[in-house]
Structure 1
Amino acid sequence: MSPSVFQPPAGFPVTVSMLPPLDRFVAELRDIWDSHRLTNAGPKVQDFEAALRDQLGTPHCLTFCNGGAALLAGIAALKLEGEVVTTPFTFPGTTHCLALNRLTPVFADVDPVTYNLDPAAIEAAITPRTSAILAVHVFGQPCDVEAIEDIARRRGVKVIYDGAHAFGVRVRGRSIADFGDVQMFSFNATKLLTTGEGGCLVYKDAALENDLRRLRRWGMLEEGDVTMPGANGMLSEIHAALGICNLEQLEEERRLRKEVVAAYREHLAGLQGVELPFEALEIEPALAYFVIRITPEFGCSRDAVLQRLRDQGVMARRYFYPLCSRLPCYAHLPGAEPGATPQAARIAEEVMSLPLYGGLGRAGVEQVCQIIATAQADR
């Protein structure tokens, strides 16, 4: 039975990985067993990449063993130097990918409604040393892509998007994959489309492809043909097979998650001190996370509500906390000074990711929301 209709026996995890019917997955595995080919961009990886290009509406897409490897390679292929303007409100992996490419992250503040990089803050953070903007579609909410790409054109810098949460997003009918010089999507077990571990990179310039292929295979295109440093970033055939199967049921999972999101909005609407996720008519959402904000008007802190939920088996998350700019390895960087990003600092103290997966259903949503309402009543 698929997790889309699976009710966890003890409490509610923050997500449940989508899995295909086992017999469907086994059918894909038989091809792999017959071929004895497990890696090195075999037929399953090639089929999965073709399906991703179709799903994302992009001509160029390469898979990787995880989203971090994809982002590392995408940044490396651009051959950047100096500084990159980015957000402090993200998973540390975003910032790590810059540091590991010997680039200097420069933190800019975020928009208080979307939680994404504020274009005005980006512009203010650009210096003569800036070579790129690395923006994150936080919780799958698309960045102000038009504004960011206008800044990039005027200031002569590249645009990189961390789209780990944003697979399937559309902005005014246009695929989110259309934006940026390179963009990463993650297929980690917590993501809407999962291969267990995996990710992909989409890119506009076909001339990047040889370098990207080398970067994900020890610097070579063929055995012994090593022209640059690289690593092993290849997705396995087994992971690709899981991705092929999960793509087949993606729309059904999206349909179920839309019902869950609608139920959350219905039950939490009007609850003082609870801010619901921003939504816009022109955006087809990611449905990867449902993140609320507990403001002072609620009457108790986000962490108090989180503890109440966890005490009753609801595994909500502080996401993202702490800010990347507060981590010891990045606290010395531009934009990490106390008070430099006040919106991001406030958001990090107030947001909380609630359980979201198709099998949660209205009944599960009602239980979660009742705990939140009781936390306020008991304050």
Structure 2
Amino acid sequence: MATSVPPSAGFPVTVSMLPPLERFVTELQDIWDSHRLTNAGPKVQAFESALRDRLGTSHCLTFCNGGAALLAGIAALKLEGEVVTTPFTFPGTTHCLALNRLTPVFADVDPVTYNLDPAAIEAAITPRASAILAVHVFGNPCDVEAIEEIACRRGLKVIYDGAHAFGVRVRGKNLADYGDVQMFSFNATKLLTTGEGGCLVYKDATLEDDLRRLRRWGMLEEGDVTMPGANAMLSEIHAALGICNLEQLEEERRQRQQVVAAYREHLAGLRGVELPSEPSEVEPALTYFVVRITPEFGCSRDALLQRLRDQGVLARRYFYPLCSRLPCYSHLPGAEPGATPQAVRIAEEVISLPLYGGLGSAGAEQVCQIIATAQADR
């Protein structure tokens, strides 16, 4: 289990979950004995099997990172034209569309969930649209029923960037059940980590050959090249770490739930601090704890961020700036000034506080005390 970080070292925004070293060594021994390091070896196959069981899906392939998985998933759908998406996301989401020669069309987001607003999606669809790419921002599930109804009615594919949302359930149903393709990330900042890695869940079994080719230089077997591809395979060592971390995932979740409870207790009622929604029908991601610092707080989000960092709390703005304000995307539909007012305001107010099991309730309370003192000093 990840160890706590002493206050003298400060509080990072996250600490990667790691298994006991001796447990990891037992997995490594198999790799050393086999000399098999890559090319979908036994550890990758075992990890993919465990992921399918965990996510309740029949189709799941691992990749070297979440971005590679999303790139391949979009490519396998063979889309053209425009894709309606969110400006409030990590730039990698938008890059995956651009690298597939698709035109992102930005739509505004819901002020509570920070996810794409279904009404804004509907308004952004043109005859050139071929898909919707929605993001479960901070692990908060999108309005999947509304999005899939729109897609079905308008003849569009649905792609989900679930980088933050591994294991999230809505009304007992896993988020992996939704969308034509959906990516989950296992980056070091995520709850379940392989160091670097990701997976793609897909419904259509006929996509599998193309996805396997896309992650291995366009081939299924040596010399069998039928399409362009890349080297996007997860290594055996990364898969071994994933196998170990799956075993302790629930304990890390339990510890993070205690941290979240402490944040909610100590920040409740603090003027100008808007806590994340907590819908009863959602089993949460516990990947990030993000609050909004509204004008009522008395100082800006950025001023509070500097105050926290000065005292060793490495909180961060997330996501900032909006993708629609990046020079490479500011010319696109939906990037015009005033087009996405909710996203603009959210990007200026959100702050991601430290969240990891080893922080503990006491660590969360210290963070909250700094926030409360910052307000009192105004």
Q: State whether TM-score is above 0.5.
A: yes
Partner AA of 2:33 in structure 1: D
Unaligned runs of 5+ residues in structure 1 are none
Partner AA of 2:181 in structure 1: V
| Counterpart residue number, 2:219 | 220
Partner AA of 2:12 in structure 1: P
Partner AA of 2:348 in structure 1: E
| Counterpart residue number, 1:294 | 293
**Are 1:7 and 1:359, in contact at CA under 8 Å, matched by a contact in 2?**
no
| Counterpart residue number, 1:66 | 65
Separation in structure 2 between the aligned mates of residue 59 and residue 257 of structure 1, nearest angstrom: 29
C-alpha distance after superposition, 1:134-157 (max 9, x if no partner): 000000000000000000000000
C-alpha distance after superposition, 1:334-360 (max 9, x if no partner): 000011000000000000000000000
C-alpha distance after superposition, 1:39-81 (max 9, x if no partner): 0000000000000000111110000000000000000000000
Instruction: Find the residue that maps to 2:9 and give its secondary structure.
Output: coil
**Are 2:109 and 2:115, in contact at CA under 8 Å, matched by a contact in 1?**
yes
| Counterpart residue number, 1:320 | 319
Instruction: Find the residue that maps to 1:202 and give its secondary structure.
Output: strand
Separation in structure 1 between the aligned mates of residue 172 and residue 75 of structure 2, nearest angstrom: 31
**Are 1:4 and 1:253, in contact at CA under 8 Å, matched by a contact in 2?**
no
| Counterpart residue number, 1:267 | 266
Instruction: Find the residue that maps to 1:244 and give its secondary structure.
Output: helix
Partner AA of 2:329 in structure 1: Y
| Counterpart residue number, 2:181 | 182
Separation in structure 1 between the aligned mates of residue 277 and residue 141 of structure 2, nearest angstrom: 11
Separation in structure 2 between the aligned mates of residue 376 and residue 288 of structure 1, nearest angstrom: 26
Separation in structure 2 between the aligned mates of residue 9 and residue 25 of structure 1, nearest angstrom: 29
Asked whether 1:194 is paired with 2:193, we answer yes
| Counterpart residue number, 1:238 | 237
Instruction: Find the residue that maps to 2:32 and give its secondary structure.
Output: helix
| Counterpart residue number, 2:24 | 25
**Are 2:87 and 2:343, in contact at CA under 8 Å, matched by a contact in 1?**
yes
Asked whether 1:345 is paired with 2:344, we answer yes
Shift of 1:9: 4.7
Separation in structure 1 between the aligned mates of residue 203 and residue 361 of structure 2, nearest angstrom: 41
Separation in structure 1 between the aligned mates of residue 295 and residue 4 of structure 2, nearest angstrom: 36
| Counterpart residue number, 1:40 | 39
Mapping of residues 324-335 of structure 1, within 5 Å: 324-335=323-334
Shift of 1:3: 1.4
Superposed CA RMSD in Å reads: 0.7
- Give the fraction of aligned pairs with identical amino acids, expressed as a percent: 89
| Counterpart residue number, 1:309 | 308
Instruction: Find the residue that maps to 2:241 and give its secondary structure.
Output: helix
**Are 1:4 and 1:357, in contact at CA under 8 Å, matched by a contact in 2?**
no
Query: How many pairs were matched up?
Result: 378
Over 3 Å counting, the alpha-carbon distance change for 1:5 and 1:248 in structure 2 is: farther
TM-score (norm 2): 0.99
Partner AA of 1:377 in structure 2: A
Instruction: Find the residue that maps to 1:62 and give its secondary structure.
Output: strand
**Are 2:158 and 2:180, in contact at CA under 8 Å, matched by a contact in 1?**
yes
Shift of 1:265: 0.1
Separation in structure 2 between the aligned mates of residue 277 and residue 53 of structure 1, nearest angstrom: 30
Separation in structure 2 between the aligned mates of residue 204 and residue 213 of structure 1, nearest angstrom: 15
| Counterpart residue number, 1:15 | 14
Separation in structure 2 between the aligned mates of residue 16 and residue 313 of structure 1, nearest angstrom: 14
| Counterpart residue number, 1:173 | 172
| Counterpart residue number, 2:209 | 210
Question: 4+ residue stretches of structure 1 with deviation over 3 A?
Answer: 4-9
**Are 1:184 and 1:201, in contact at CA under 8 Å, matched by a contact in 2?**
yes
TM-score (norm 1): 0.99
Partner AA of 1:185 in structure 2: F
Asked whether 1:122 is paired with 2:124, we answer no
**Are 1:162 and 1:185, in contact at CA under 8 Å, matched by a contact in 2?**
yes
Shift of 1:4: 4.7
Separation in structure 2 between the aligned mates of residue 250 and residue 11 of structure 1, nearest angstrom: 24
